[in-house]
Structure 1
Amino acid sequence: MNGQKVIRRLLSTTSRFNALQTPRATDSTDVLIVGAGPAGLAAAIRIKQLKSDLRVVVLEKGGEVGSHILSGCVLEPTALYDLLGKDLSTYSSKYGCGEPPLGVKAGRSEMVWLTGDTSSMIPGQRAIRIPHPPQMNNKGNFIISLSAFTRWLGRVAEEHYGVEVYPGFAGAGVVYSDESTEDSPWVEWGGKWGKQVTGVNIPPDNQHPQVPRVLGVLTNDVGISKSYTPNSTYTPGLFFQSKLTLLAEGAHGSLSKSIIAKFSLRKESEPQTYGFGIKEVWSVNEGHIPGKIIHTLGFPLDKNTYGGGWIYHMDNNLISLGLVVGVDWENPYKSPYKDFQMMKHHPFIRSLLSPSTSNRLAYGARTLTEGGLQSLPLLHFPGGALIGDSAGTVNVAKIKGVHTAMGTGILAANAATEALSSNSNSLSTYTSSFLTSPIHSELYSIRNLRPSFHFPSFTKHHLGVLGGILYSGIDSLFLKGRTPWTFRHTQNEEERKQSVDSAPSLDSLRTKPTSVTNPIQYPPFEPPLSTDLLTSLSLTDTFHEEDQPEHLRLLTLPEAKIGVNLSEIRLEDEGEEESPSTSTSTTPDSQSQPSRSQHRQNHVRINLSHYAGLLERACPAGVYEYVEDTSSPSPPSKNETENHPQENEDENKSSWKNKKLVINAQNCIHCKLCDIKVPSQDITWSVPEGGGGPKYTIT
């Protein structure tokens, strides 16, 4: 399938309607930032602080700033102080946006080992207090709603600094220059990044052909129906052309994924590994101690699954309760959602959530990066850079990433302002400044903690996560990261290259087939303490326009990497004649690709026969179902058959053994777990119409 055809699908169309040939407006800016999270807003504010006359535009796919933000969250305020000053009492008068919603000051921290059988609620479960590592000292920190904090930061950016923030504008595709005239981002970094940062010591590739430059981003079209035809509300997306583009999409962003592949930014890094967090917010009337912080290990996770829970006592009698599960879990029968619901039945937690004195207010889920320093891609590319969780700067030892995300935003902003002053489009100085920053020092000191949980010597002796806990304790208390070795997430170089070059995620490779795993028997839900998934989903207030193409696409890996060149889109001032470069004719390459129905059939076959339909249990929003195929095919029209024979084959071919995949895309809460975990690696998460998705307010 050629690049033009793929980008049409990623922009909510197919060759039935050539959206790229619809004239679209161009909006030019100095700096374009994709994502109005902590990293993107911090970058926008710092640029305006340094040079107020620069135009800075921030695109946010959520309906409003903060509506797609979910985190624990205990905020370490170092980056906030760097950005807006240390005297919090002056913020309201200085910035005119009210008091910052910093919740409550963090108080006492505890770590607790929860005992119990992972398959039943047996009597005698206990909570054993254990020492917590020094990195989890929370003196001076705040327990906050990151969604509320981000909304406030967005107001500061807009109202005080004049940043243009556009909620409801989803970045759908990267636009590259037609000519490859830029130096590769690996010039001066080849061999250096692996040796000095990630610990991947491979011979440097001294071949650095010139590459195209990122010119900006296309927002997605609005008003295209499920049948891929424009309706009465059709509006083509905009081309935001920018001198520099910063990607701040959060973990596993669709544009970031494309950029990393396009410029091979991870060729001297380990693959990224992810965590999957599920969170609820409860209102409680008894047992609430503002500022109290509890982290849990053990139940409900088995000895081979990395992860743990949290209980944060917020302000206003609220409790933030959640569970993070390493996405590299092995058993395809695992359901993180049911694990979390089961966790609440442990007596230690259940005592806080009495039905007579508590009420559940919010629910949500999101992936987060856990790979640390070893998994960082090269941070810059021609025309822009990766910041925050788009790069992957979470400190897993602290269980924090907001301060590092904002910190990288500030570093990138400094470099961007300097580059624009010298008419440069390279942000290599951002990458250099990162190496001498406190963020790098933090990540370096804890680099071995996460990979120690799957260190070969520990797994060989069946220690499971216990080996990682023991090593992490020794490293945190005594070694403090000052070791000559750097553990890897992969078992060997062959596995690293497989995941980096071919791009099946490392976490998907860790999934074992059902032939060597056992089903997990979860206890039934007991409302209101534990509820079915759709009841929880209703708390997210998720909405998508139903008559739009699915944003969860079955695309093969090469297809999902392709971007669009400038000449492949038509701008409003280009006249009416169609450019030959945007022809919709089928190429030999596209003829050799499997059809969409064959894609679906292969997906169903692999995921049902070997992994028992993993996505049905993994997805926290009930998006994926494997159901009986009782439909009979509808014959395509003669016109469709003549013009698009490959896309209109017998739809029965999309089923396998009378089972077919149903994607309830309207349920999606944008966690992106499916894209990462699906064993067949054929689900590509792309943006739906801007403004769709969850409406988080207190998460």
Structure 2
Amino acid sequence: MERESMEFDVVIVGGGPAGLSTAIRLMQLAGENDRELMVCVVEKGSEIGAHILSGAVVDPKALNELIPDWKEKGAPLNTPVTHNHHWILSESGKTEMPHMLLPPLMSNKGMYTLSLGNLTRWLAEQAEALGVEIYPGFAAAEVLYHEDGRVKGIATGDMGVARDGSHKDGYQAGMELHAKYTLFAEGCRGSLTKHLESQFDLRADSDFQTYGIGIKELWDIDPEKHVPGTVIHTQGWPLEDTAGGGFIYHQENNQVAIGFVVTLDYENPYLSPFDEMQRFKTHPAIRPLLEGGRRVAYGARAINEGGLQSVPKLFFPGGALVGCAAGFVNVPRIKGSHNAMKSGMLAAESAFAALQAGSEGEVLLDSYEQAYKSSWIYDDLKKVRNARPALSRFGATLGTIYAGFDMWMNSIGLGFLLPWTFRHTHRDNEATKKTSEAKPIDYPKPDGVVSFDKLSSVFLSNTNHEEDQPVHLTLKDDSVPTAINLPDYDGPEQRYCPAGVYEYVDGDNGRQLQINAQNCVHCKTCDIKDMTQNINWVVPEGGGGPNYPNM
């Protein structure tokens, strides 16, 4: 069946904060210049916000610029940060680091703790009010090109394809969306972004990206234990030789967002980020907060951690990368939405200027890259550029000490005395040791009170996929799991996946890898951590995946 096509001025892939900020800024500029503009946003989630997961403590800096009257318009930033704590945990106790010892850039004064998903839904309302066309439930599955190699647009995935590739009743071919410019805001480890980086060699002058995995739960807690605006970050236990830490945010409506982040360059193949998160909640300083409460939501997502040196070239013929597709997370601050939104605004201004000049895609969006390097995004990332690689270079303890020193020097204006930039030395998948070099980890069984198993957790993510569709977790070589992963690493995909997607089961020919694709919460960890990079995550049928209510 031949695909139908639609024409737009700009197509934006991804309906998160970056993509929607891009769309809003484009329409603002169109209004200011009395120009009609056709802007389309496609989003693979069943609705806007369905796949959005973040802590989140949000810096409103970009929102202040994009929509200065956001308070009057009802943006869901209702809980300002009132108390800020940093705990260093041992197995049985905690030490509070005095706030005055933390680098000033780590302060959360003026920030808000909230559901980033709800903020995204509000941004979508603002975009639609300006005339942006938003299509949730449509997964961008393919990049389209002109004959001269310029990006022409994207094609959405076919609907109604059976697992064996045949067409079911009601089959619908994907749509082609053509545009003068196509902007990719897929988020961390986007499948089309991976393709574009290779197609246009966007990382020729930058480091590879490195990642963490963030696992989050939302709890209704006893109102007497709830202190709105309290923000707690932790480091130390339960991790030993691996960098990462926890967060506890007291948000509105007697809810607490609690989560745990593990850097994905961990070495021990027996480590399970999910089980580290469950163990974290049993700490004596944390368990009492949750007891008597009720867990209401669960999710997981990979996080860009490469920082400044891992930002690729941002533009290519016919398009650009914005937001976490490019990787603008400030890792020490655990914040990225403000930078993601600002990058979308800068890309929108560059694209609009090109449209006004009548370039229609022939001219590269080099002004976007220049604007980024002159913006506060660049300054934000430059100040912390050595923090994350220091952890890999010196280890979790010494790396943290060095990172604090480096950030203090930058905070007090002496950053010029530290002119070096540490490079990332290994990809996350390359760090994994074989089981012969590693020590097994004995995780406690979930108690059903504050700790839980994977399947009951996935249930709370409201994850759903049409079961009779092609598996979107594809293997380049079907023999690798049983030839390499299982004998050499004891099948670590069973542990690094936070959703129980990968399972080794007994079959006629011994143990075989079973992929429970319907459980996938779209975190992308497998695409990143698989040792041989044999797993390739591609988009499932549009609308599949988690349905986070207010994460």
TM superposition score category, shorter chain reference: over 0.9
Q: TM-score, normalised on structure 2?
A: 0.96
2:373 corresponding residue in structure 1? 435
* Contact 1:624–1:664 under 8 Å retained in 2: yes
CA distance in 2, matches of 1:692, 1:88: 31
SS at 2:482's partner residue?
helix
* Contact 1:278–1:324 under 8 Å retained in 2: yes
CA change 1:89–1:679 in 2 (3 A) is: closer
1:76 corresponding residue in structure 2? 59
Q: Residues 295-694 of structure 1 correspond to what in structure 2 (within 5 A)?
A: 295-302=233-240, 304-354=241-291, 357-424=292-359, 425=361, 426-455=364-393, 458=394, 464-480=395-411, 481-482=415-416, 483-490=418-425, 506-555=427-476, 599-630=477-508, 658-694=510-546
CA change 1:297–1:230 in 2 (3 A) is: same
Opposite residue 233 of structure 2, the aligned amino acid is H
1:147 corresponding residue in structure 2? 117
CA distance in 1, matches of 2:81, 2:111: 5
Opposite residue 38 of structure 2, the aligned amino acid is R
1:23 corresponding residue in structure 2? 2
What's the CA shift for 1:479? Answer: 4.4
* Count of paired positions: 536
CA distance in 2, matches of 1:469, 1:624: 33
What's the CA shift for 1:528? Answer: 2.1
| Counterpart check, 1:235 vs 2:172 | yes
| Deviations 1:112-142, CA, capped at 9 Å, x for gaps | 00101xxxxxxxx001001433222111111
CA distance in 1, matches of 2:72, 2:217: 32
2:142 corresponding residue in structure 1? 173
1:191 corresponding residue in structure 2? none
1:638 corresponding residue in structure 2? none
1:54 corresponding residue in structure 2? 37
Opposite residue 397 of structure 2, the aligned amino acid is L
What's the CA shift for 1:306? Answer: 1.1
CA distance in 2, matches of 1:330, 1:527: 29
Moved more, 466-475 or 23-32: 466-475
1:257 corresponding residue in structure 2? 194
2:549 corresponding residue in structure 1? 697
| Deviations 1:162-195, CA, capped at 9 Å, x for gaps | 100000010001011223xxxxxxxxxxxxxxxx
* Contact 2:383–2:410 under 8 Å retained in 1: no
Opposite residue 165 of structure 1, the aligned amino acid is I
| Deviations 1:435-462, CA, capped at 9 Å, x for gaps | 100100110111001001122xx3xxxx
SS at 2:289's partner residue?
coil
* Contact 2:319–2:365 under 8 Å retained in 1: yes
SS at 2:478's partner residue?
helix
* Contact 1:275–1:326 under 8 Å retained in 2: yes
What's the CA shift for 1:321? Answer: 0.2
CA distance in 2, matches of 1:552, 1:428: 35
SS at 1:409's partner residue?
helix
Structure with the largest fraction of strand: 2
* Contact 1:113–1:296 under 8 Å retained in 2: yes
SS at 2:286's partner residue?
helix
SS at 2:544's partner residue?
coil
RMSD value, Cα: 1.1
CA distance in 2, matches of 1:331, 1:526: 25
* Contact 2:481–2:491 under 8 Å retained in 1: no
SS at 2:298's partner residue?
strand
Give the counterpart of 1:37 among 6, 16, 22: 16
Opposite residue 255 of structure 1, the aligned amino acid is L
| Deviations 1:634-671, CA, capped at 9 Å, x for gaps | xxxxxxxxxxxxxxxxxxxxx6xx12111111111100
CA change 1:433–1:479 in 2 (3 A) is: closer
* Contact 2:480–2:534 under 8 Å retained in 1: no
Opposite residue 473 of structure 1, the aligned amino acid is G
What's the CA shift for 1:603? Answer: 2.8
CA distance in 1, matches of 2:493, 2:71: 48
CA change 1:27–1:359 in 2 (3 A) is: same
Opposite residue 529 of structure 1, the aligned amino acid is V
| Deviations 1:50-80, CA, capped at 9 Å, x for gaps | 0141100000000000000000001100100
Opposite residue 105 of structure 1, the aligned amino acid is P
- Note the residue ranges of structure 2 that are not aligned, 5 or more in a row: none
2:154 corresponding residue in structure 1? 217
SS at 1:610's partner residue?
helix
Report sequence identity in percent: 49
| Counterpart check, 1:128 vs 2:95 | yes
Opposite residue 110 of structure 1, the aligned amino acid is H
CA distance in 1, matches of 2:504, 2:332: 38
CA distance in 2, matches of 1:412, 1:613: 42
| Counterpart check, 1:277 vs 2:191 | no
What's the CA shift for 1:365? Answer: 0.2
1:109 corresponding residue in structure 2? 84
| Counterpart check, 1:162 vs 2:97 | no
* Contact 1:341–1:531 under 8 Å retained in 2: yes
CA distance in 1, matches of 2:408, 2:386: 13
